[in-house]
Chain A
Amino acid sequence: MISPDSQTLLLLCSQLGLPSEPEFSPLTLREWNPLARKLQALSLRPADLLDLPQAELQTRFEVSTEHATRVARLLERSGALAIVLERLNNLGIYAFTRADKDYPEKYRQRLKDSAPAVLFYAGEKALLGQPGIAVVGSRHLDEAGQDCAKFVGNACGLSGQVLYSGGARGVDTLSMESALEARGTAVSVLADSLEKQVKVQKEALSRGDLCLVTPYSPNAGFSVGAAMGRNRLIYCLADYAIVVASDAETGGTWAGATETLKNNWVPVFVLEHNAMPDGNKLLLQKGALAFPHPFKDKPVKLSDWLKGKAAELPAQPNQPSLF
């Protein structure tokens, strides 16, 4: 059962129960974070907002009338939220928020304030953040890329590592299917259409071998922005990331990989072979580690190999996190 704090975050930060072009749009992370900080400063929980009259919100939180009205109106739709949430639960889709204890710890640690306030998921949520390897790359793959995607998926399956990917065509699907075929587990961080994907993947989901997760509405359609925005969420759940193929200086794969390198979220490996794309070469220059093709050792040795290579990288400091 969902906590009142989570209910509040869903009301404020998700699209659930709102029309496609709402008069009052949900809060962005940039808008929610200051409010969350003020709640902590006042020793309040998010759910306390539900009983707070608008005038008091305005004075105690020092926000504009306009902002206070928006918050009040978003909170008013708890009836609709309950109805919509019940239907999603019935379809096998659940929500958690930054206010939940079981919100993926790796997002809190690595993304801090920019961890999504709300996540929707289907399947086995305990997989989120379990030891595993992320595979990223474009939808269109050369032969080496295809082999690599399948190899990493299979290796994850055989060695009990979770295969993290973005649930799109190409690299994502190939590696995920290989992992599941090897009786392994996988997590797909979706940019759109969670509701549809739940229907397609119902078997792996009901076996508990797969978790689909997304920060966007379960019925959201495809958008480039969303696809770019979720890339970091793939990296941040994993222990290591392998970039199979990237364009240079352009595209989602490039953006995600360089962002991860810059923030040091996880060690980034790049597939190295004679005919590798320009993006791969540039990423190696920017400090990504080389991942040889073909891999010389047995598949089950993959994670040990990645661990050994990554051991040279410096450890990351920690900071406390917000709701």
Chain B
Amino acid sequence: MNTDIKHHALKLLRAMIGDNADFRSGQWEAIEAVAIRRKRALVVQRTGWGKSLVYFLATKLLREQGSGPTLLISPLLSLMRNQIEMAARIGIRAHTIHSANREEWDSVEVALKENAFDVLLISPERLNNERFLESVLPSMAGRIGLFVVDEAHCISDWGHDFRPDYRRIVRILKLLPKSVPVLGTTATANNRVVADVQAQLGEDLLVLRGTLTRESLRLQTITLANQSERLAWLVENLPKFSGSGIVYCLTVPDTERVTGWLKQKGFSVEAYHAGDDQSLDRPALEQAFLNNEVKILVATVALGMGFDKPDIGFVIHFQRPGSVVAYYQQVGRAGRAVERAYGILLSGAEDDEIQDYFIQSAFPNVETMNQILVALEKTEGLPINDILSRVNVSRSMLDKALKLLEVDGAIGTTYEKHKTIYFRTPNPWQADMERIEHVTNQRRTEQAQMQEYMAHTGCLMEFLQRALDDSNPQPCGRCANCRGKGLPAKVSHELVIEAEAYLKGASISITPRHMLPSGIFPDHKRKIPPELLNETGRSLCYYGDAGWGTLVRTGKYEQNHFSDDLVEAAAHLIADWKPEPFPVWMTAIPSRRHPELVRRFCERLSTRIGIPFKPVLIRVSDAPQQKTMQNSSMQANNVINTLGISGDVSPNPVLLVDDILDSGWTLTMAGWLLRSHGSGPVYPFTLAQATARNS
């Protein structure tokens, strides 16, 4: 009987991907396990192997036997459009519900009610969403014929990817009768992760694992000390590659900087990230890249798993990723359907610093978590803004803390009057220090392994295979180490100097804040009146970055003096900027800790650009340093209580100077004060911006 079903499944497969197609090794075994024997299975296969074929065909067979629809849980829904189109060819109707398509939820619910769908794709967060639980799930009468858990390596704490929501998935699967089949899929899981997933999903879990090697990939590692050398390297070497490719960076500002440089050098290139840039249309960028209208995407990890472009000819890392798994997944996007593809890992001085930052900021500290719980215990529930005004924690750290507490069952959420309300549950909570320590150690080990990869002199592909517990690691004969030659590690001196100038010249906008944080002035509206708003400002650099960033750091913390180079750079920036109407006087944010530093800088700048400096802003009490204030409410309060005006405020446009932009609240409130004391338009200028390194 199974041969008949297999024959039928093969016909479906061919209807999906072409008449000559055949099952790859492992595909039918996985389909049979879940759709016929109704088992739990874990498929570990490289990206592009066809994991989605397995769950779509399994769904089709189960539906034909009268089972309920498939629930597919994946953190990367937006990247599944291609797969959904493919499934439609065999009559599989798939619907997606995620936070970004709220307007489609009603029509999806109707489809669910009418049983007019076969696969529902949701993100893990949905599983705890009230509307999903109270409306969506019941409208499909709760019938779930197959659970598919994508990125199943996240089930294990030994994985490279820590996602708290997966603990919820494990608990749900433990509450699920054995009669409901479960399919986990992942591209990367070493032995330890597989064993851990098996321990959590049941010993009878069938594991189907394929080889990782990609025949077309040529690997190489190149160490170049600083960013300007690597920018120069890109310009010299990118023209050598045919086809399209990806340049991966670790942070959003880095993608912007690399993109700006490459555009200036005439490359067809766009930045791709999940930063808060509203103008960035990711689906359109993906499409343009798929169509080869854009040759190179400079991306963060936001261009993630599931993105499938078969003809990528090269993947270059501008900075070193945190783990072998992450690196393998990213470099593995190259060479799926081309004969020769390149995977070049550039690494430099800032990589460890950035990785250390990622590791340190992965978990909120336990004290913060306890403060949140204490704040919630006293009430029946609070919206996020009220928590921020009670607990000194940054918004992004609070989000992480709330997520962990929610998955731990220490807090719950409801949705009231368009706001999410967080409340304390009666469940006891204790920080899982062991888990935090474990995950942190895991990250350190992964970082060390990547350092080893950079220094490895043997076959690079074999190194990756061993690190990922491939069953049959072999020297590849193609990587730069096997062949004894590769792309040059040397770059032309002239180009490096040009790149350095680019890094120093790329100024950064300061977007004025339009809203006050809630709870600052109980009697005021939160919206800042337009006549009291700052104009868009400029910063010279990001704090601590290559270029001017290093000079700002030594100036502030080592020499207590900003060098003449910085005065000169600021003067150039202001001349290029040409704000309209141009400021006719300047003033500065006063500081008690370094009273001379910014003032002396302003005096020199004032002489250099020829507009008078009038220090009208004063400190009225000694506040803690703004950077110790972790969130908007605390920061704005801190500023309001400490800034004042002394002397006459000229009614003309003014340049408002500070050294480092932290939260933006100091500039916002200072601008408010100046404007309400009768000044003209306020243009903020800072030497540097301190950036949270978000991807």
Chain A residues in the interface with B (C-beta under 8 A): 1-2, 4, 7, 17-20, 22-24, 47, 50-51, 73, 76-87, 89-92, 122-123, 198-203, 205-206, 219
Q: List 28 A-B contacts (CB under 8 A).
A: A1-B174, A1-B175, A7-B175, A17-B138, A18-B138, A18-B142, A50-B179, A76-B141, A77-B142, A77-B143, A78-B176, A79-B143, A79-B180, A80-B143, A83-B137, A87-B127, A87-B133, A90-B407, A90-B409, A90-B427, A91-B409, A91-B425, A91-B427, A92-B409, A92-B425, A92-B426, A202-B423, A206-B426
Task: List chain A residues, Cβ under 8 A from B352.
Answer: none
- Residues of chain A within 8 A (CB-CB) of B68 are 76, 79
B182's closest neighbor in chain A, by CB?
A79
**Given A83-B172, A84-B137, A89-B171 in contact, is the A78-B127 Cβ separation under 8 Å?**
no
Closest to B143 in A: A76
The answer to whether A199 and B179 touch across the interface, beta carbons within 8 angstroms, is no
- For residue B412, CB closer than 8 A to chain A, the reply is yes
**Nearest-neighbor residue (CB-CB) of B176 within chain A:** A82
Contact partner of B128 among A22, A90, A199, CB < 8 A? A90
Interface size class of chain B, counting residues whose CB lies under 8 Å from the partner chain: 35 or more
The verdict on B173 contacting chain A, using a C-beta distance below 8 Å, is yes
- Chain A residues, CB < 8 A from B143: 76-77, 79-80
Contact residue among A19, A77, A202 (Cβ-Cβ distance under 8 Å from B426)? A202
Please name the residue on chain B nearest to A51 by beta carbon: B179
Chain A residue contacts of B171, Cβ below 8 A: 86, 89
Cα of A201 to Cα of B425 in the assembled complex, Å: 9
Whether the Cβ atoms of B139 and A19 lie closer than 8 Å is yes
Assuming A79-B68, A202-B426, is B409 touching A22 (CB within 8 A)?
A: no
Pair A90/B177 contact, Cβ less than 8 Å: no
Q: Beyond A19-B141, A79-B143, A86-B127, is A200–B380 a contact (Cβ under 8 Å)?
A: yes
Inter-chain contact A206/B142, CB cutoff 8 Å: no
State A83–B168 Cα separation when bound (angstroms): 9
B121-162, CB < 8 A from A: 127-128, 133-134, 137-145, 147
B424 within 8 A of A: yes
In angstroms, how far is the closest chain B Cβ from the Cβ of A94? 10
Closest to B134 in A: A219
Taking CB atoms, residues of chain A closer than 8 Å to B139 are: 19
CB-defined contacts of B428 to chain A, threshold 8 Å? 206
B145, B173, B424, B425: which contacts A90 (Cβ < 8 A)? B425
Once bound together, how far apart are the Cα atoms of A206 and B140, in whole Å?
35
Looking across the interface, which residue of chain A has its beta carbon closest to that of B169?
A86
- Min Cβ gap B382→A in Å is 12
Q: CA–CA, A146 to B143, complex, Å? A: 50
Contacts of B407 in A (CB 8 A): 90
Bound form: Cα–Cα A150–B514 in Å: 55
Q: Give 7 nearest A-B pairs by CB, closest first.
A: A79-B144, A80-B142, A77-B142, A205-B426, A19-B138, A82-B175, A90-B409
Interface centre among B68, B127, B142, B147 (most CB of A within 10 A): B142
A123 touching B426 by the CB < 8 A rule?
yes
Identity of the chain A residue whose Cβ is nearest the Cβ of B139 in the assembled complex: A19
Shortest Cβ gap from B178 to chain A (Å): 8
Cβ B71 vs Cβ A79 within 8 A: yes
Q: Which residues of A contact B133 (CB under 8 A)?
A: 83-84, 87
The answer to whether B446 has its CB under 8 Å from any CB of chain A is no
Closest to A76 in B: B143
Interface residues of B in 425-445 (CB under 8 A from A): 425-428
Contacts of A122 in B (CB 8 A): 426
Q: What 19 new A-B contacts, CB under 8 Å, besides A82-B175, A92-B409?
A: A1-B174, A1-B175, A17-B138, A50-B177, A76-B68, A78-B142, A79-B180, A80-B141, A84-B133, A84-B137, A87-B128, A91-B409, A91-B425, A92-B426, A198-B426, A199-B423, A199-B424, A206-B426, A206-B427
